[in-house]
Amino acid sequence: MRILVTAGPTREYLDDVRYLTNASSGRMGYAIVKAAVHAGWDVVLVSGPVDLPRPVGCELVAVDTTDQMREACLRLFPSCDGVIAAAAVCDYKPRERIVGKIVKTGGPISLDMIETDDVLAELGAIKEQRWVVGFALEARNPRENALQKLRRKNCDWIVVNSPAAIGSERNEVELLAPSGEPVASWSGLKTEIADALIDWLQESISDSSTTARK
């Protein structure tokens, strides 16, 4: 089994020194990598900038911006059996990046923002026989919003968590199937949740393969 994992935040630069980002620590994605490697899977990690030790036993592709993460994922995904997209990708970027440094003028400034490319949706669109696990961080109507995301991005399953997960060593999640029903739920340390998720995927993918052969 060879899988792609995305982790951490991305950055979108206003100028050469300032950027937009989020508070993702990357801990959930890195814990998933560790659990998958321990399970004997071949793992390639595409990681945004994080303050975490390099994971042992995996291929690491370090990226900064959403465009860089998109390019790496589209290049690597065809050689994988599936993807677990735990990265907290920056949703917006300035329409234009200023060369140099924006100088203070004493007055307000306005930024023209546009959406970044949807990396998970692009992977879902080209998945073919591969499986896709997405992550949805939802503050309101978590199941409803996560289910819409699952279907819009052509995921096989989606992990729902809340903003309380950001920067924390702990998490509380539900795993939703396309039917909208929760097929699993876990709480505890992110390392424990990662172990449980990989165990669940191993069993579910094995069951699916057995059914397909019958």
Report residue 206's pLDDT band, with 50, 70 and 90 as the boundaries.
confident
| Domains in the chain, CATH or no CATH each | 2-99+113-213 (3.40.50.10300)
Catalytic residue (choose from 22, 141, 145, 161): 22
- Helices 190-213 and 27-38, packing angle to 10 deg: 50
Q: Is the pLDDT of residue 212 over 50?
A: no
22 is catalytic: yes
- Stated pTM of the model: 0.94
Cα separation of 130 and 3, whole Å? Answer: 10
- Could you give the percent of the chain with pLDDT greater than 70? 96
pLDDT in tens, 124-156: 999 999 999 999 999 999 999 999 999 999 999
Q: Is the pLDDT of residue 71 over 70?
A: yes
Q: What is the pLDDT of residue 207?
A: 65
Q: What is the pLDDT of residue 205?
A: 87
What mean pLDDT is predicted for residues 15-22?
96
Print the SS3 string covering the chain. CEEEEEECECCEECCCCCEECCCCCCHHHHHHHHHHHHCCCEEEEEECCCCCCCCCCCEEEECCCHHHHHHHHHHHHHHCCEEEECCECCCEEECCCCCCCCCCCCCCCCCCEEECCCHHHHHHHCCCCCEEEEEEECCCCHHHHHHHHHHHCCCCEEEEECHHHCCCCEEEEEEECCCCCEEEEEEEEHHHHHHHHHHHHHHHHHHHHHHHHC
Q: Is the pLDDT of residue 209 over 70?
A: no
Please say whether the beta carbons of 12 and 92 come within 8 A. yes
Q: What is the pLDDT of residue 57?
A: 97
